[in-house]
Amino acid sequence: MTAAPTLTDRLLAGDTRALARAISLVENETDDGARLVGKIYAKTGHAYLIGVTGPPGAGKSTLVDRIIATLRARGQKVAVLCVDPTSPYSGGAILGDRVRMQSHASDDGVYIRSMATRGHLGGLATTTAEAALVLDAAGFDVIIIETVGVGQDEVDIVRTADVSLVVLVPGTGDEVQALKAGIMEIADIFVVNKADREGADRTAASIESMLTLEMFDQGEWKPPVLRTEATSGRGVTELLDMVEAFRAHSGARVGARRRARAEWRLREMLGRRFLQHLEQDVLAPGEFDRTLDRIAGREIDPYTAVTALMAKTAALDHVGIAVEDATAMRALFGHHFGLATGEPEVVGLHRLQFVETGETTLELVEPVSADAPIAKFIAKKGAGLHHICLRVADIDRAMADLTAKGVQFIDAAPRQGAHGSRIAFIHPSSACGLLVEIKQPAGSHEGSDPVRRSLGEGGH
């Protein structure tokens, strides 16, 4: 008997129940969801993503329903994600969406799903993007993302798409608002829906006049303004033809667009993960809120608060190891473990060999003369761990905090380290006999050696 197919297998085979389950996993931000994305990612990138945004009631869902019908007639499999960042329970509007698209309920070439609202900033955009990946892997040719409104959340969500349609209606002044809200930059096609109503021409003209204020390079796509009547379906074929035209126009650039999207998503996810790490692993319970209170109470400014919070995310910068033969150690780490090793450097009385292990560097220190401090260290304690170095965001603050807690430093004040960093050593008597260096890195790359020189002064 062969093993039962996994969720991934079933998803890739287009199983609808597996699809629903997979979307729930990413929607609830589970680890299983993250693993699933990891498994399917290489198999995605085939679907074309159409973003549809605009104020509530503009007729987006009615229009999407028409778009589905047209695309189905062209033989394409279509999925729709309905997202409403403004509603805490994703209730009414979404329900309406599904009712409007009900005509496709029995067609297995169509899949419609609403995304539950998540509390945190940017989270909904990420889970929407991941749900789109799942649909892509399941074999849908076109994925439509319908989202309500014209604010930053919608901009983030629509950025997930390959083409963005902004749907407006005559005479509400929404167009001006939309342009203010930054929709201007993301709209690839403007749609004035409810063109059967009075004022459609005026609305279209006002969008066009806004566009004339923008500079477009030669050959650059200038967003067209189309009129539709979603209830009757008028203008929908023209709209889809325009989407095709955009797709053809941006063909060469779609890679750049997807890369920009990947960058945005990576930054968003990293930022979120980092904040989570800070709140869960680094700060004491309630510390974040207390900091907020102090900022609100004008006790500290936000910049100082950020620096202070960042300073708590100390990380192991390097481990200093006293060795009798740095070259032999280099062979061990470099050849046997495949770690990057630079050329050894002789600095003063020591030969230094740096071994990059990814997060942390090993600093192998070999004495080149019997007078070298490391020679004395080895004579006294034997080869092995000499010191560890922790990175801090603000060394002055770290020294002040630690000194206030009774920690003794070898250095009275921070001194200059390599590459513009500032360093200080904690006395081993304050660290159970271990020599601990703290380092505030700097962006600038200046001189080469003071840290290494300092090893002789600070070490023992």
By CB under 6 A, is residue 59 in contact with ligand GDP? yes
What is the Cα gyration radius of the chain? 30
Query: Does residue 341 sit in helix, strand or coil?
Result: strand
Residue ranges in 114-186 assigned as alpha helix (H): 123-137, 152-158, 174-180, 183-186
Question: Which of 94, 203, 83 has its CA nearest to residue 132?
Answer: 83
Size of the site for Mg ion (CB under 5 A): 3
Considering only 11, 18, 58, 78, the residue that binds ligand GDP (CB under 6 A) is 58
Residue nearest to ligand GDP (CB): 59
Q: How many residues appear in the chain?
A: 460
Query: Torsions phi, psi of 233, nearest 5?
Result: 90, 0
Longest dimension (CA), the chain: 94
Q: Give the type of residue at 2.
A: T
Question: Which of 72, 71, 265, 47 has its CA nearest to residue 137?
Answer: 47
Considering only 27, 156, 229, 366, the residue that binds ligand GDP (CB under 6 A) is 229
Considering only 22, 50, 142, 230, the residue that binds ligand GDP (CB under 6 A) is 230
Which of ligand GDP, Mg ion, none sits in contact with 347, Cβ below 5 to 8 A by type?
none
Which of Mg ion, ligand GDP, none sits in contact with 421, Cβ below 5 to 8 A by type?
none
- The end-to-end CA distance of the chain, in Å, is 66
Give least dist CB 102 to Mg ion, A: 13
| 278, 313 contact by CB (below 8 A) | yes
By CB under 6 A, is residue 117 in contact with ligand GDP? no
Considering only 27, 33, 61, 162, the residue that binds Mg ion (CB under 5 A) is 61
| Residue 444 CB burial class (10 angstroms; 0-12, 13-18, ≥19) | exposed
> Taking CB under 5 A as the rule, which mask of x and - marks residues 3-42 in contact with Mg ion?
----------------------------------------
Considering only 5, 38, 45, 56, the residue that binds ligand GDP (CB under 6 A) is 56
Segment contacting ligand GDP by CB under 6 A, of 92-100, 198-206, 380-388, 424-432: 92-100
Q: Which of residues 40 and 161 has its CB atom nearest to Mg ion in the complex?
A: 161
Residue 389 and residue 330: Cα distance in Å, rounded? Answer: 20
Which of Mg ion, ligand GDP, none sits in contact with 230, Cβ below 5 to 8 A by type?
ligand GDP
Residue numbers 436-455 binding ligand GDP by CB under 6 A:
none
Spatial strand order in the sheet of 78-83: 110-115, 78-83, 142-148, 48-54, 163-168, 189-192, 225-227
| 13, 5 contact by CB (below 8 A) | yes
Tell me the C-alpha to C-alpha distance, in Å, between residue 253 and each of 75, 220, 246.
Answer: 26, 11, 11
Give least dist CB 225 to ligand GDP, A: 15
Give the DSSP H or E segment for 254: helix 254-277
- Tokens 């599904």: give the residue: 98
By CB under 6 A, is residue 194 in contact with ligand GDP? yes
By CB under 6 A, is residue 193 in contact with ligand GDP? yes
By CB under 5 A, is residue 127 in contact with Mg ion? no
Considering only 86, 152, 231, 250, the residue that binds ligand GDP (CB under 6 A) is 231
Residue 5 and residue 10: Cα distance in Å, rounded? Answer: 6
Give least dist CB 9 to ligand GDP, A: 35
By CB under 6 A, is residue 60 in contact with ligand GDP? yes
Size of the site for ligand GDP (CB under 6 A): 19
Q: Which of residues 51 and 59 has its CB atom nearest to ligand GDP in the complex?
A: 59
- Residues 175, 119, 140: CA angle, nearest 5 degrees: 70
The per-residue DSSP string of 14-81 comes to T-HHHHHHHHHHHHTT-HHHHHHHHHHGGG---SEEEEEEESTTSSHHHHHHHHHHHHHHTT--EEEE
Give least dist CB 243 to ligand GDP, A: 18
Which of Mg ion, ligand GDP, none sits in contact with 62, Cβ below 5 to 8 A by type?
ligand GDP
Considering only 27, 65, 97, 363, the residue that binds Mg ion (CB under 5 A) is 97
Considering only 141, 196, 345, 449, the residue that binds ligand GDP (CB under 6 A) is 196
Segment contacting ligand GDP by CB under 6 A, of 59-67, 104-112, 346-354, 386-394: 59-67
Which of Mg ion, ligand GDP, none sits in contact with 194, Cβ below 5 to 8 A by type?
ligand GDP
Residues contributing to the site for Mg ion (CB under 5 A): 60-61, 97
Interacting residue ranges for ligand GDP, rule: CB under 6 A = 54, 56-62, 93, 96-97, 100, 193-194, 196-197, 229-231
